[in-house]
A and B are shown apart, each in its own frame.
Chain A
Amino acid sequence: MSMESTRSANSAKRSFNNNSNSASSNSNSNPSNKKKKTSQKTLGVAWGSNSRSSSRSSFSNSPFSNFGSYMVEKNRKLQNQFEAEASTSSHGGSGSVKPIFDGVSIFVDGFTVPSSQELRGYMLKHGGRFENYFSRRRVTHIICSNLPDSKIKNLRSFSRGLPVVKPTWILESVTANKLLSWVPYQLDQLANNQPKLSAFFTLKRSSVSNGASTHAPCQVNPEAEDSSLKVGTSGDTYFSEVSEPFEHSKQISGESDDLVDENSNASLVEEPANSSGKPCEVAMAVPSNIDTEDESSVKNYLQSNHYQPSALVSSNCINNQNMKGSPSSTVSEPSNQSHSTLGDPNFVENYFKNSRLHFIGTWRNRYRKRFRTLSDGFNCTSSNIKASALKTAIMHVDMDCFFVSVVIRNHLELRDKPVAVCHSDNRKGTAEISSANYPARDYGIKAGMFVRDAKALCPHLVIFPYNFEAYEEVADQFYSVLHKHGNKVQAVSCDEAFLDVTDSEGDPQLLASKIRREIFETTGCTASAGIAGNMLMARLATRTAKPDGQCYIPPERVDDYLSQLPIKALPGVGYVLEEKLKKQNVWTCGQLCMISKDSLQKDFGLKTGEMLWNYSRGVDNRLVGLIQESKSVGAEVNWGVRFKDVKDAQNFLSNLCKEVSLRLQGCGVEGRTFTLKIKKRRKDAEEPTKYMGHGDCENLSHSTTVPVATDDVEVLQRITKQLFGSFHLDVKEIRGVGLQVSRLESTENSKQGLERNSLKSWLTSASARTEELCKNNYVAKESSNQGCEGEGDETLGQLCGNSVGLSIQMDSNTSNGAACLNEVSVPPPICHLDMGVLKSLPPELFSELNEIYGGKLVDFVAKNKGKTENMNHTLRAYSHEKIEGAMKEGQAALLPSMVFQNEIPVENKAKQHIAKEVPAVSGAESFVPASGLTKTDLIPSSLSQVDTAVLQQLPEELKVDILEHLPAHRMQVFSPNVLLYPTEIPLEALGTKTAENNSGSKDFVLDNNLWFGTPPHWVEKFKVSNCLILNILAEMYYKSGSTGNLSPILQCISSVSIHQLDAFQDGWDEAMYILCELLKQYIKLKIELDIEEIYVCFRLLRRFAMKSEFFIQMYNIVYPYLQALVGENYGGNLHMSLKD
């Protein structure tokens, strides 16, 4: 192991004279040497000066080839000496002396009391080792009493990650006759016991004690056990002192698995840990009261617990390594610390597992899932209570110092003692207190305070770590109680909620005390409640009520209450606003009332001004239960972010993306705008006071918007990396990274694709609404239907026809809003009902209809599902004539009610329309089995079924929407000069396979210029296609700014994950064909005048081709064509270099 030369190596006398050879050659005591007694008896070797100059002079005429080999030899001899002495001392001394320092190898640095020679003696006697020269490999502990400043600053290069311990450790270990934990004996100058970030992220560290690692296994492991027990039994064992050493050092590593399990059940284990702390003695409880729903959280917990013990373990080892000055101090450590911090693949994940803010932030999501039904039911009713706003009674319930009281709820003895929650209890640390109980607050301890300050205020402050599982459990219990007593509950946070108790009988105050009592009984924690006429006052009342009390502010007392209330108490008034107001000499709400609304709005903006005006008068119009939808989802890490190189940063980013993606999925949303926020250390900023904090930073942010909302990890990662690249930062300067996703769309909506706001959804809802209005239409059709009703299959076939008719009927209604149809009281026969319509009916309407049909509707729907399968086959068997006949009648009957007729006065056109409806149905038969689409779709299943004449007359938007919902395989047909194409196709042809139609339509494509017009024709075509890639292309056309050039579109596509584009099966060939055609036409169009554009496009395409099978194929098809045309025009070939 080569050591970089450190200042200490050169300056300090006896510190690190290592050179590159020393490590490679420190062949540990080969057996033959062991026997060989050396003649040298010099005990003073440790004092032997080996500063470089003297050594150099000594070996200048020695047989050693260089300094390195001299040192090797010297080390070897010293070792032999030591071993020889050790064997004599242990033999000569009392045989009963326990080798307490087994595995410990110390190196004494500088002046110590007792002297290094005495220490050496102890080590000799008690089975330890003593190194004269520092070696990272052999030394396990560095013993010293004092360190020079330079070494403290550069601790890591000095200690190489080894513990730096005071000599008293050895003395006291000898006195105690066992190896004590070195942790309490750490050098005062370094005792910064706060766990490092890396500590949270280290993986299983059992390896520490394995193998040849000289990393003080026996010291570390008791700690591991110790701390894990502390976690595991959630406070029961808290008093089993951390510093108390345990003897069972090595077994723990083997049992770390058990430990994990144990910890996962921690909250269930009520058995007090015995002081010896043997893990196997703690009973394995069955996780009984964890419902399946929470399984994942249990898993998480299991993991996080797993990390916690190791956290403490490694914290012990790492503490010494804190390099205060170095920005890269959290970056992965050599050897044993290889898992640390950012090198750790689970970095982000673990960060959030240990984050309280994260817990609170994601809690709502959990809550919603759990209490969804309750809050939904409530939301329905909330609208009804608006009227009675005058006499409302709102209750605000807030748990008292939730984070503390949950943790100590099982420690009655701690109830009146100052307790705080913080992730570290190092008394000198800069961890922030997250919550403190009331006794602690009496000492002036506040949330956000550093532990060291808190400890200074209150030395006997007890600090607990977080117990997220307990928080969840208690929060759930808390809400169960609330939901029991009121159905109008608005969750504010995991420990705070509003209840609308207007409708509850009885005195709200009594109810409040009842609720509070129940909360106390179920959770063991106290809660305070405030009751008032609105949410603001209720919240303020709670403020008065705390702790563990309740307060009612009747309307007449509101003004009194507010007049003396400091402005800061108002929700929404933060530090900045407060300062501003204080400048205006406003300190209380009473004073705030004096200011006119106008001037408030002028000074603070419209909204804030109004809020202040309202709040200062106790006016709050919010309704309980209005939960704001979150506008963005994101994750931010501002603690412990230190990158060594770009790779670290990239790794971190991709983990952050994973986290964000999970959150997006958790919330069921996808986003389009991605904002990457970076905290960059200011140039002159010093290392922050807060350990591993971000310090003084510049906040930078870049954002980008993609065309298609996504929650896909890969896309996120790619976008994020792009964004990150755009910062052009030195990664070492980064102190915080956050990724935020906004412009959220609900996943369900986006799954339905474009249906939102489209004609189809409108139609479906319209059809629901107008269903009854249309009944006369059904009646009219009935006559025609009767002919075929004899056979069940036939009716189903008819159903198809009806649906087509119905959709057109809807069109007519839409285009002529005035078309008023007579209400007919007779419902249509059940078999005429359109499945598509039924399915999309709102539940209320459906049940109403179901009632009308005497409950048969449900059966029908179920039956229909099964039948549709058969239908396809039976329909095929149909003779076309039969249907034709039936349908002609049907359509004829239908027509009078159609508005089309008004729009198309020419009679033969109307006839044509009839004629075309017929093939439409038969066409549908053949398509349905082929494509496997919903059989009873409302929309005609292909464009050929739509009267183009009608279509053309429709307003543009409607047309687009209709086209959008036609399947792709027929869309090629739609082009201006082939509008009449379908009518010319004989019935038989339509009944045949789609492929044939395609072959027919290909010619049309060829003839047409897809690039003609603005927007080019292909855009429309692709938009209505059911093939994802074509849809994307069409969409990109608009996103790219509708320039009519292909390259911006392709560039936009490259922002979408390319392999996503491969993720479609149907229509591959068609998409391929049409795309190749598109490209060819584009080449033709541009070849003469803009070869650059073509070049750019094809380079992009080639890039896609590297990732996508689809694009490879396409590229290969079009490429020869391209080169041929280039050759024709330019007498050469386009040079597609292979390097990019």
Chain B
Amino acid sequence: MDRKDNQSPQGETARILVEFLEVAITSIVFLKGVYPSGAFERRRYMNLVVQRACHPQLRDYIHSAVFGLLPFIQKGMVERAAVIFFNTDGIPVERFVFKLAVNQSYGSKVEDANLEFSLRSFLIKLSVSESLTKVLPRDYRWEITAYFRSLPEASANKDVEQWIPTDTRQWEQPPLLTPIKSMSSEPLCVQLYIEHPSLSEPKP
């Protein structure tokens, strides 16, 4: 948590966003039942009951992945962050996509309360969205993937290096989208939707 970034509104927004992403991603993992529910503990975030991973590795993975995005988000380079569930062949089955847009030119002070209010609605909606999701196959894996507007140059920052280019397999057909929640309150616009393979997608 780089407090030094707090002076610019973008820095502040990005920090809140990243925090939120950490919680949201944990929620998704919890929602999908990737791990037994005992692997999570109840915590309070934005005055909501949320889940937090107990296992240090899991917690670390989510935390470091998301906080590794922070500098890119501040620069507005991250277009989407996705939680992708694969089957054993590495073909995605379901993807939870956060579409992010941070207004870089937004100058005035961000109202934390407003932002939190909007972000909270994601977590609420997410907790009741299980019916929208698919039942996952056995032996699936998941990962966090970020889509950048442009590939970042090699940077000295250690955090950044945690993110490596990837070539996750894509669907051949355009996927079906199920929007879960959208918010757009200056300077941040976040949309969460689920992607499923289209019906005409060739089955593996």
Contact = CB atoms under 8 A, between A and B. Distances in A.
B180 A1135 contact: no
Nearest to B125: A1092
A1089 B177 contact: no
B182 A1091 contact: yes
A1131 B177 CA distance: 9
Contacts of B88: none
Interface string A1085-1122: 00011111111000000000000000000000000000
Given A1089-B101, A1089-B189, A1090-B191, A1131 B182 contact: no
Contact of B174 (A1095, A1131, A1137): A1131
B59 interface: no
A1090 B182 contact: yes
Given A1089-B191, A1090-B184, A1135 B178 contact: yes
Interface string B60-100: 00000000000000000000000000000000000000010
Contacts of A1126: 177
A1135 B182 contact: no
18 contacts: A1089-B189, A1092-B179, A1092-B181, A1092-B182, A1095-B178, A1095-B179, A1126-B177, A1127-B174, A1131-B174, A1131-B175, A1132-B174, A1132-B175, A1132-B176, A1132-B195, A1133-B174, A1134-B177, A1134-B179, A1135-B176
A1091 B182 CA distance: 7
Contacts of A1132: 174-177, 195, 198
Interface residues of B, number: 18
Most-contacted residue by chain A among B101, B178, B179, B193 (CB, 10 A): B179
Contacts of B196: 1135
Contacts of A1127: 174
A1130 interface: yes
Contacts of B191: 1089-1092
Contacts of A1092: 179-182, 191, 193
A1089 B193 CA distance: 12
Given A1089-B101, A1089-B182, A1095-B178, 13 more contacts: A1089-B191, A1091-B177, A1091-B182, A1091-B193, A1092-B181, A1093-B182, A1126-B177, A1132-B174, A1132-B177, A1132-B198, A1133-B175, A1134-B179, A1135-B176
A1094 B101 CA distance: 18
A37 to B, nearest CB: 72
A906 to B, nearest CB: 43
A1130 B182 CA distance: 14
B108 to A, nearest CB: 19
Contacts of A1089: 101, 182, 184, 189, 191
A1130 B99 contact: yes
Nearest to B182: A1092
B184 A1130 contact: no
Query: Which A-B residue pairs are the 6 nearest by beta carbons?
Result: A1135-B176, A1092-B182, A1132-B175, A1092-B179, A1095-B179, A1089-B184
Interface string A203-245: 0000000000000000000000000000000000000000000
B176 A1130 contact: no
A516 B189 CA distance: 82
A1135 B191 CA distance: 16
A433 B174 CA distance: 75
A1047 to B, nearest CB: 11
Contacts of B174: 1127, 1131-1133
Contacts of A1137: 178
A1127 B174 CA distance: 8
Contacts of A1133: 174-177, 198
A1126 B177 CA distance: 9
A735 to B, nearest CB: 35
A1090 B183 CA distance: 7
A1089 B174 CA distance: 20
Which of A1091, A1093, A1131, A1132 has the most C-beta atoms of chain B within 10 angstroms of its own C-beta?
A1132
Contacts of B180: 1092
Nearest to B171: A1132
A1134 B191 CA distance: 14
Nearest to A1086: B182
Nearest to B97: A1130
A1135 B189 CA distance: 22
B158 to A, nearest CB: 32
Contacts of B193: 1091-1092, 1130
B105 to A, nearest CB: 16
B107 to A, nearest CB: 19
Nearest to B191: A1091
Interface string B96-120: 0001010000000000000000000
Interface string B163-204: 000000000001111111110100001010101101000000
Interface in A556-585: none
B187 to A, nearest CB: 12
A1085 to B, nearest CB: 11
Contacts of B101: 1088-1089
A1081 B70 CA distance: 35
B179 A1091 contact: yes
A1093 B191 CA distance: 11
Interface in A1058-1101: 1088-1095
Contacts of B178: 1095, 1134-1135, 1137
A1126 B182 CA distance: 14
Which of A1131, A1134, A1135 has the most B CB atoms < 10 Å from its CB?
A1135
Contacts of A1091: 177, 179, 182, 191, 193
A1092 B193 CA distance: 8
Contacts of B175: 1131-1133
- Max chain A Cβ within 10 angstroms of own Cβ: one of B174, B189, B195: B174
Contacts of A1090: 182, 184, 191
Nearest to A1123: B174
Given A1090-B191, A1092-B191, A1134 B176 contact: yes
Nearest to A1092: B182
Contacts of A1131: 174-175
Nearest to B178: A1135
Contacts of B99: 1130
Nearest to A1132: B175
A1094 B189 CA distance: 15
Contacts of A1094: 179
A1089 B180 CA distance: 13
B141 to A, nearest CB: 22
Nearest to A1126: B177
Nearest to A1130: B177
B201 to A, nearest CB: 11
A409 to B, nearest CB: 68
A1095 B176 CA distance: 12
Contacts of B189: 1089
A1091 B180 CA distance: 9
A1130 B99 CA distance: 9
A1125 to B, nearest CB: 12
B193 to A, nearest CB: 6
A204 to B, nearest CB: 49
B150 to A, nearest CB: 17
A1094 B174 CA distance: 19
A1132 B178 CA distance: 10
Most buried by B among A1088, A1094, A1131, A1137: A1131
A461 to B, nearest CB: 64
A121 B181 CA distance: 83
Contacts of A1093: 182
A724 B135 CA distance: 35
B101 to A, nearest CB: 7
Nearest to A1127: B174
Of A1088, A1126, A1130, A1137, the most chain B CB neighbours within 10 A belong to A1130
B118 to A, nearest CB: 12
Q: Which of B176, B177, B181, B189 has the most CB of A within 10 A?
A: B177
A270 B174 CA distance: 85
A1044 to B, nearest CB: 13
